[in-house]
Amino acid sequence: MNRAPITKAGAERLKEELKTLKTVKRPEIIDAVAEARAHGDLKENAEYHAAREQQSFMEGRIAELEGIISTCEVIDVTNMNIGDKVVFGATVILEEDESGDKVTYQIVGDAEADIDSGKISISSPIARAMIGKSEDDEIEVQAPGGSKVFFIESIQYI
């Protein structure tokens, strides 16, 4: 079985979310279900059905997090000595060829990807294009609006 890679920081965030769900959210939802049940007829009790639905979503997320944490391979990128190549965990500053705009991405595992915070999945097209490249290399990425060319300005492992 392939173990999905995840950064050490990403694994810690997932473990913290799991702990919060189990120790804080689960008891809150159990109390909400019990309170809604006390209101009477369950057939027409919207509060009860909403609380049960919320409980179902939370239990699903707990199961998902436990599965990810138990099967992932935690990689500490600060201890890696790769040199000047882009690999998993690298934080890369790219400059778009056409506009000169700069973007910063960290290549992370699928479970911790969050484009809003600059974390892109190792399986994304732009990350796959960067893997194995060095500073000043050119990469071409197929985007929905057409092909885009970027230059790798810098690579860091932070």
User: How much is the pLDDT for 92?
Assistant: 93
Give dist(CA 102, CA 146) in Å, integer: 18
37 alpha-carbon distance from chain centroid: 36
The pTM is what? 0.79
Q: 139 - beta bridge partners?
A: 150
- pLDDT of the residue at 104: 94
Structure-token pair, residue 47: 């509060």
The per-residue pLDDT for 102 is 93
Residues forming beta bridges with residue 5, ordered by sequence position:
73
Classify burial at 42, counting beta carbons within 10 Å of its beta carbon; exposed 0-12, middle 13-18, buried 19 or more. Answer: exposed
Within the chain, which residues score under 70 in pLDDT?
1, 81
Tell me the domains of the chain and their CATH numbers.
Answer: 5-75 (1.10.287.180), 77-156 (3.10.50.30)
pLDDT tens per residue, range 51-93: 889 999 999 999 999 999 999 999 887 777 677 889 898 899 9
Q: What is the structure's pLDDT at 81?
A: 65
